[in-house]
Structure 1
Amino acid sequence: MKVSILGAGAVAFGSAAFLEQAGHSPMLWSPSGRGTRPFASGAPLVAKGAIELEFTPRVAKDCAEAVQEADALLICLPGFCHKATMDAMAPHVRENQPVIISSHSSFGALYLSRLLAARGIRAPIIVWGTTLTTGTKSDETHVNVISVRKKIDVAAVPQSASDRAVELCTHLFGDRFVQRDGLLAIALSNLNPQNHLAIALLNLTRMERGETWGQAENVTPAVGRLIEALDLERLAIATALGIHVRTVKEHFSLSFHVTPASVSDMNQEMHRSGRGGHGPRTADSRYVLEDVPFGLVPTARLGRLVGVPAPLHEAGIALFSAAYGRDFTQANDLLPALGLESLTLDQLKALARDGAAVD
């Protein structure tokens, strides 16, 4: 299948390498154009680690070409790029053309659903709770793939398209998809924001000073306990909604192929095996700039909507806002576009189940 990947970061490169290795035909599009410029000039994409592959991917000259040339679309961008990317792609999406969001954040699928509905278009929007690969870019053409996840939670908008979504994702990426109870389950299945809250908050000076530091190595018992406490808040919100989501311990075990234990112990096992990775070397990291406004803020708001307080999530938002001198509750451009604050719980559930109505 022809799959256009919207993005040019480590996840996009890892996903492209996986698709190429699986016999599909990936095309890359970068919103700025910088991330794909070497490939447009004929340079190969080189993947190392969990995927070993060298190939030259196809490159789209613009978003319209990326959409028009694809059987399916895969969004692999930070949350703060989702709205602008959806605005760019929505005019070109075809009837029934699948769109996969890897990984979904901040109810972005509902925003895209509204854009398509305004055109009279119905298309399955497939949402993942996490990414296919983890890793880092070592330079503009090389990606170090640390891990290919064994399990990925998936759902679709509308929810009636979920079976088709699993079939498509399995065809493209293999038998690793676990169907969840709709978009709200996926909204609570992305564990990066809560995990990165603990990791970044308790290692912030390392990030500010540009130090090279081992991430898993520094998920000490204190950091691990904070992650586990944040996870209890997320699980309580899921319970109030009547949905089942994976625990953070299950996440680490399945994502990084380690023996189930405490969060700290699993991270130390990753470190000892050489798969612990490095933490951010700058305070201008997606761990904060993306995960706080597009991860923690929506989770905290969902908690308030169902009457389940999330004081640690709320404290994290406040602490990072104070440390960075900016209000991260105002840094999310998707929630205002959706009018989430004005939706009742029943309205949100209906929108998550059915998507926006097409006239």
Structure 2
Amino acid sequence: MAEVLVLGAGNGGFAMAADLAVRGHKTTLFNRTETTLSAAKEQGGIHHSGVLGEGFAPVDHIVTDLKGVVAKADLIVACVPATAHRSLAQTLAPHLQEGQRLLLNPGGMLGSLAFLLELRAAGHSGNIAIAETGTLTYICRKSNPGSVFITNVLKSVPCAAFPASSTKGFLADVDGIVPNLMEVSHILAAGFANVNAVLHPPAMVLGAAWIEHTQGDFLYYLDAATPAVAHLLEALDTERRAVAAGWDVDVSSFPRLFASIGSTSEAAGEKEDYLLTLLDSVPNHHIKAPPSLDHRYMHEDIPYGLVPMIDLGRAVGVPTPTMSAVVQ
């Protein structure tokens, strides 16, 4: 079994740490904020429910200081929003060892390159193996400060390392530690598989009044799955695929991609029906809307998802008017 360091104790970090512990890996969970960890620390691990079953996952170490824990890790997994990559890289840089493996789960858009540049800026000059996924490998939410509810462990999650020549070796090294990673050609291909960039903004923008009026008291992936939202999603997705094609990257439509990772029905994917894709996304149906517009669906998925796609489109002469309208 491997020693794995999980960075971040939000929804994804809790799911990652619980899953690793359940499967017998020696797990360390890190978060900078003590209060975020206090419940898990007091009970010595994480209660879990959902697809992993009902149970308790003992976590070997729960820490707010990386000193002494980074060097022991066979794999480091960062489960934080892209908005936290810069500060996390600065925190991690003094502790990284030559040749260590770091996975950004998820990576955002070209996250591994940006993270590596931040490590260099923070003074880390050694060689590390760094990779990113197109999306988080779990559908999950913390049900309380010491528990996580996991409704899906995704399958065939696009993943690439930087540089691209190291992807095959990286995936071979982490096989059996992080489930269901699928090799793609390079980090651009992983970035264009960032489904959240086109999934989250439509209902945030079109449902802004509803969110503000109810403080998010509705089911985001079900109640907000309307024809207008699906239409905007399809328009964004068409531009995502066009920009990818401009960079010689072949990506599936959102319905097919969402079905391939196990987030909606195969029928919705085959029909490429955007509204049905949302309505059939059963693992997401329990998730409530954000309580306000001040949320990562805006702060992460637009500046770290749509904005890079707009810039990449501009570089190859592919217009993205719908993306630009959403950003504006």
- Please give the TM-score of this superposition, normalised by the length of structure 1: 0.83
Aligned equivalent of 1:201, options 201, 205, 217: 205
2:298 maps to amino acid? V
- 1:2-47 deviation per Cα after TM superposition (whole angstroms, max 9, x unaligned): 1111101111111111111222122111122322122222344111
Aligned to 2:279: 268
Does the alignment pair 1:296 with 2:302? no
Aligned equivalent of 1:122, options 115, 122, 127: 127
Q: How does 1:102-181 map to 2 (within 5 A)?
A: 102-116=105-119, 119-174=124-179, 176-181=180-185
Give 1:291 shift. 1.4
Query: 1:65 and 1:202, CA in 2 relative to 1: closer, same or farther beyond 3 A?
Result: farther
| Contact residue 130 and residue 152 of structure 1 kept, 8 A | yes
- Higher helix residue share: 1
Give 1:274 shift. 8.2
Whole-Å Cα distance in 2 between the matches of residues 276 and 265 of structure 1? Answer: 17
| Contact residue 21 and residue 58 of structure 2 kept, 8 A | no
| Contact residue 116 and residue 122 of structure 1 kept, 8 A | no
| Contact residue 195 and residue 258 of structure 2 kept, 8 A | no
Aligned to 1:258: 265
- 1:290-322 deviation per Cα after TM superposition (whole angstroms, max 9, x unaligned): 21211111111111112111111111110xxxx
Aligned equivalent of 1:244, options 236, 244, 250: 250
Aligned to 1:286: 296
Give 1:282 shift. 2.1
| Contact residue 270 and residue 276 of structure 1 kept, 8 A | no
Relative contact order, higher structure (CA 8 A, sep 6+): 1
| Contact residue 255 and residue 274 of structure 2 kept, 8 A | yes
Aligned equivalent of 1:314, options 319, 324, 328: 324
CA RMSD across the alignment: 1.9
**Which 4+ stretches in 1 moved above 3 angstroms?**
114-120, 273-276
Whole-Å Cα distance in 1 between the matches of residues 288 and 267 of structure 2? Answer: 22
2:227 maps to amino acid? P
Provide the aligned length of Structure 1 versus Structure 2.
316
Give 1:140 shift. 0.6
SS at match of 1:228: helix
Does the alignment pair 1:88 with 2:98? no
Does the alignment pair 1:222 with 2:228? yes
| Contact residue 181 and residue 244 of structure 1 kept, 8 A | no
Whole-Å Cα distance in 1 between the matches of residues 244 and 96 of structure 2? Answer: 32
Whole-Å Cα distance in 1 between the matches of residues 87 and 35 of structure 2? Answer: 17
In structure 2, runs of 5+ residues without a counterpart are none
2:81 maps to amino acid? P
Whole-Å Cα distance in 2 between the matches of residues 141 and 251 of structure 1? Answer: 32
Identity across the alignment (%): 26
Whole-Å Cα distance in 1 between the matches of residues 193 and 22 of structure 2? Answer: 28
| Contact residue 64 and residue 89 of structure 1 kept, 8 A | no
Aligned equivalent of 2:63, options 46, 60, 63: 60
Give 1:276 shift. 4.8
